[in-house]
């Protein structure tokens, strides 16, 4: 049984931030939890899915974030505490519903958890989700440590019920994925009875229709709610100040930056000179609380990641309060004291603070920095991002690349987020030429596919993963079919949401909770749309390339090629080798005319290594996954595959 459902009050566990958030939802008695996978948010749903049956809660990996928020909202409307979870750009996907939900209000507590990814460690963007709270006028909380990550979720549900509206909680990678001690509270009794009351007076918030109409009335109501939240925030336990009564410098911060700031103050030994205002309620800012703390000093440093959200909001308040608190000097992202892009860390905060308090301190001495810079280039082999050994994408893009080269009309591929986004790099033979949001490959291709009348004659391909297909590709395909746009969509179907850890999606027969569910067939959807559909195994290079060329030349509008091969890291495949691979040194042409290392110079599966001394290729048996594809790359047949008995 999972430690997450240990009902011993006061029990302490070392929890990852995302687990703490999950535990918070359990302690709050959340009954409906859904989301769409996306690093760094995925572990929250995964943790809860494992214990969903034990705890009698409904957990779902939804088709996309908007649907996830809608499913969660249904829980709230039916009187169940509910939570939806997504990464930063997922909030963009959900934002249309978010706007309307914020207008209609909620019933039982509902919390939106957004896990942002400063520095885009696992993202194709450095999106900032906090502005959504301000944009749609809902309260925003940011946990500043791991205990808070749990406690704040429970508090967020209570706040949501207090104001009858959605509450947003924003985490970041270093909060979600780092770990800390968390003291448990009690789990509530699990008896609930879901019912949607909708026969009352139409404007009754608990028994009427749930909608954002009439807009003026509901909007005014919504503003009363956010104002009330602001009042509650004045005494919120998650806002705290540490430091002298009258510090030289006041740091205002939130989230993981709270930890960096505490560390920075300690490292510089300026506990008696610098005050730290750590905010847990970052929208709306509680004005009285801010006034109190801003009055302490004239020098303010705002430490936060991604966009200057806190900084701008504090400045607005400070401008309004200027007659009372005086003129302040602000340091932060706007004046460049804090870097405008990328993650923060204690060193960066130390550097910023040292500069302001006039301490000559270099977090990393020049000599050390110089040495450190030299180490990776002198000692470690040059490496770049690449697909795993046995990755079906390498084989797929090999064929796509070759088909486009053979075609010779300067064709290209439009794509989106996923492991296959690396096809912009040499590991995918630099085939992918546009990369944007989920499903954007199809939409952009649909546009290119209509430019024929304007002189455009390059073949257009789009790629998407199987999970992405359901998430956001379908409307683009409908658009393409409806407008008779000419392009070929390649669905890289590796049987799961592979990049984020094999979460199930609508194409699979099992749900997040491990229940049998109806699978939705990608090929049938495409056929029903009227597309020509072919299905191939990307490991069959010849057939895949031939099919691609045939589809590229077929001018009949939308064509779909589904390349089906399970991800090399999937639990089903892992450790199971289909082939033992060996090299025949006598046959290997190596660098000679006729080959010139096509396997290690171009195909570049990490499982193949160039032996500089013998001038032949070697198989790295430790990482070779035995897919056998390289045997078909070798022009001489020097790479041998033998089926594993």
Partner 1 sequence: MKVFGANELLEDVFEKNLCIGCGACTYLCPYFRSYRGKTAILFPCNLTQGRCWAYCPKVEVDLDDLSERFFGRPYEKDPLGFHRSVKISKAGRQVSEGSFQAGGTVSALMSFALSKGYISAAALTDREGLRPVPRLAQSTDDILRCSSSKYTASPTLSALNQAINEGHNQIGVVGTPCQVLAIAQMRSNPMGDKDFSDPVSLVVGLFCTWAVDFREFDAFISERIEGSRITKVDIPPPPAEIMEVYTDNGKIEIPLDEIRELVPNTCSYCTDMTAEFSDISVGVLEGRPDMNTIITRTERGEKIVDEARKEGFLILDDIGKENLEHLIWAAGNKKKRAFIKAKQEGMLNAREEGARCYLRVRPETVEEIIA
Residues in contact with partner 1 by CB under 8 A are 401-402, 405-408, 429, 549, 591, 593-596, 598, 602, 633, 635
- Kindly tell me which of 482 and 601 has the beta carbon lying closer to partner 1: 601
- Kindly tell me which of 392 and 411 has the beta carbon lying closer to partner 1: 411
Rounded Cα distance, 563 and 491, in Å: 6
Rounded Cα distance, 350 and 440, in Å: 40
H or E stretch at 448? helix 440-448
- Kindly tell me which of 73 and 634 has the beta carbon lying closer to partner 1: 634
- Largest Cα span, the chain: 86
- Kindly tell me which of 300 and 581 has the beta carbon lying closer to partner 1: 581
CA distances to 83, 126, 176, 393, 561 from 44, rounded to whole Å, are 10, 21, 9, 28, 34
- Kindly tell me which of 357 and 581 has the beta carbon lying closer to partner 1: 581
Rounded Cα distance, 311 and 110, in Å: 28
Kindly give the pairing relationship between strand 616-619 and strand 639-643. Answer: unpaired
Within 10 angstroms of residue 554's Cβ, the number of other Cβ atoms is 12
Rounded Cα distance, 584 and 439, in Å: 43
- Kindly tell me which of 478 and 633 has the beta carbon lying closer to partner 1: 633
- Kindly tell me which of 575 and 593 has the beta carbon lying closer to partner 1: 593
CB of 601 to partner 1, least distance (A): 8
What backbone phi and psi angles, to 5 degrees, belong to 34? -145, 165
CA distances to 2, 58, 228, 488, 596 from 49, rounded to whole Å, are 11, 8, 34, 36, 50
H or E stretch at 14? strand 12-16
- Sign of dihedral through CA atoms 207, 208, 209, 213? negative
CB of 491 to partner 1, least distance (A): 24
CB of 603 to partner 1, least distance (A): 9
CB of 165 to partner 1, least distance (A): 57
Give which of 255, 335, 247, 230 is closest to 295, Cα–Cα: 247
CB of 595 to partner 1, least distance (A): 6
- Kindly tell me which of 320 and 554 has the beta carbon lying closer to partner 1: 554
What backbone phi and psi angles, to 5 degrees, belong to 136? -105, 10
Helix, strand, coil % in the chain, rounded to nearest 5: 40, 20, 40
- Sign of dihedral through CA atoms 533, 537, 538, 541? negative
- Kindly tell me which of 451 and 633 has the beta carbon lying closer to partner 1: 633
| Beta-strand runs (E) in 349-499 | 412-415, 432-435, 460-465, 487-493
- By CB neighbour count within 10 A (0-12 exposed, 13-18 middle, 19+ buried), where does 511 fall? middle
For residue 40, say if its preceding peptide bond is cis, omega within 30 degrees of 0. yes
CB of 563 to partner 1, least distance (A): 19
CA distances to 184, 405, 624 from 423, rounded to whole Å, are 45, 15, 21
- Kindly tell me which of 233 and 429 has the beta carbon lying closer to partner 1: 429
Rounded Cα distance, 26 and 149, in Å: 13
- Kindly tell me which of 120 and 598 has the beta carbon lying closer to partner 1: 598
CA torsion 23→418→119→25, rounded to 10°?
A: -10
Within 10 angstroms of residue 334's Cβ, the number of other Cβ atoms is 14
CB of 545 to partner 1, least distance (A): 10
CB of 592 to partner 1, least distance (A): 8
- Kindly tell me which of 266 and 594 has the beta carbon lying closer to partner 1: 594
Rounded Cα distance, 30 and 434, in Å: 40
- Kindly tell me which of 341 and 587 has the beta carbon lying closer to partner 1: 587
Contacts of 408 (CB under 8 A, 6+ apart): none
- Kindly tell me which of 262 and 401 has the beta carbon lying closer to partner 1: 401
What is the number of alpha carbons within 13 Å of residue 621 lying toward its C-beta?
6
Tell me if 443 sits within 8 A of 395, measured CB to CB.
Answer: no
- Kindly tell me which of 200 and 637 has the beta carbon lying closer to partner 1: 637
CB of 600 to partner 1, least distance (A): 12
Residue 607: alpha-carbon gap to chain centroid: 29
- Kindly tell me which of 321 and 598 has the beta carbon lying closer to partner 1: 598
Rounded Cα distance, 423 and 23, in Å: 38
CB of 459 to partner 1, least distance (A): 13
CB of 407 to partner 1, least distance (A): 7
CB of 384 to partner 1, least distance (A): 17
Rounded Cα distance, 32 and 362, in Å: 49
CB of 390 to partner 1, least distance (A): 20
Kindly give the pairing relationship between strand 274-278 and strand 240-242. Answer: antiparallel
CB of 23 to partner 1, least distance (A): 52
CB of 530 to partner 1, least distance (A): 22
Nearest 5°: CA angle at 430, between 429 and 435?
Answer: 135
CB of 429 to partner 1, least distance (A): 8
């Amino acid at each position: 049984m999972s430690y997450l459902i240990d009902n011993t009050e006061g029990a302490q566990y070392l929890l990852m931030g995302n687990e703490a958030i999950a535990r918070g939802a359990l302690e709050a008695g959340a009954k409906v939890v859904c989301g769409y996978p996306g690093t760094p948010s995925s572990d929250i749903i995964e943790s809860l899915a494992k214990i969903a049956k034990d705890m009698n809660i409904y957990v779902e990996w939804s088709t996309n974030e908007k649907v996830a928020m809608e499913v969660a909202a249904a829980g709230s409307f039916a009187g169940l505490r509910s939570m939806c979870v997504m990464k930063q750009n997922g909030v963009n996907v959900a934002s249309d519903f978010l706007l309307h939900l914020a207008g209609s209000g909620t019933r039982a507590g509902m919390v939106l958890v957004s896990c942002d990814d400063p520095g885009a460690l696992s993202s194709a963007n450095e999106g900032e989700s906090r502005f959504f709270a301000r944009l749609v006028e809902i309260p925003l909380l940011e946990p500043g440590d791991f205990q808070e990550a749990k406690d704040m979720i429970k508090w967020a549900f209570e706040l949501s019920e207090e104001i009858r509206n959605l509450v947003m909680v924003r985490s970041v990678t270093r909060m979600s994925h780092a770990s800390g001690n968390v003291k448990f509270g009690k789990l509530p009794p699990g008896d609930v009875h879901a019912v949607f009351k909708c026969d009352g007076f139409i404007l009754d918030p608990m028994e009427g229709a749930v909608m954002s109409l009439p807009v003026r009335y509901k909007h005014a109501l919504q503003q009363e709610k956010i104002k009330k939240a602001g009042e509650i925030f004045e005494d919120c336990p998650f806002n705290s100040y540490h430091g002298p009564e009258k510090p030289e410098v006041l740091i205002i911060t939130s989230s993981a930056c709270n930890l960096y700031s505490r560390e920075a103050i300690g490292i510089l030994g300026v506990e008696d000179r610098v005050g730290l205002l750590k905010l847990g309620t970052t929208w709306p800012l509680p004005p009285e609380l801010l006034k109190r703390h801003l009055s302490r000093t004239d020098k303010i440093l705002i430490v936060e990641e991604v966009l200057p959200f806190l900084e701008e909001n504090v400045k607005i308040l400070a401008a309004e309060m200027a007659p009372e608190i005086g003129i302040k000097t602000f340091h932060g992202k706007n004046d460049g004291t804090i870097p405008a892009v990328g993650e923060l860390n204690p060193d960066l905060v130390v550097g910023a603070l040292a500069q302001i308090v006039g301490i000559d301190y270099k977090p990393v001495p020049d000599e050390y920095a110089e040495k450190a810079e030299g180490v990776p280039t002198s000692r470690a082999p040059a490496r770049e991002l690449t697909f795993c050994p046995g990755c079906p994408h390498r084989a797929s893009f090999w064929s796509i690349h070759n088909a486009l080269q053979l075609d010779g009309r300067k064709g290209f591929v439009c794509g989106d987020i996923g492991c296959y986004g690396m096809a912009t790099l040499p590991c995918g033979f630099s085939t992918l030429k546009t990369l944007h949001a989920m499903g954007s490959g199809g939409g952009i291709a649909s546009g290119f596919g209509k430019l024929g009348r304007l002189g455009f004659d390059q073949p257009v391909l789009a790629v998407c993963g199987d999970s992405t297909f359901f998430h956001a590709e379908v409307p683009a395909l409908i658009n393409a079919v409806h407008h008779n746009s000419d392009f070929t969509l390649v669905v890289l179907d590796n049987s799961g949401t592979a990049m984020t850890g094999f979460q199930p999606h609508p194409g699979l027969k099992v749900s997040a909770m491990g229940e049998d569910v109806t699978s939705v067939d990608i090929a049938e959807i495409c056929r029903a749309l009227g597309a020509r559909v072919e299905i191939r195994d990307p490991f069959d290079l010849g057939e895949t390339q031939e099919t691609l060329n045939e589809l590229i030349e077929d001018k009949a509008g939308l064509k779909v090629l589904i390349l089906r091969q399970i991800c090399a890291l999937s639990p089903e495949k892992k450790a199971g080798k289909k082939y033992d691979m060996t090299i025949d040194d006598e046959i290997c042409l190596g660098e000679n005319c006729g080959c010139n290392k096509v396997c290690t110079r171009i195909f570049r599966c990490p499982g193949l290594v160039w032996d500089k001394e013998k001038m032949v290729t070697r198989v790295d048996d430790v990482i070779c996954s035995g897919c056998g594809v390289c045997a078909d790359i070798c022009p001489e047949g020097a790479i041998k595959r033998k089926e594993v008995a």
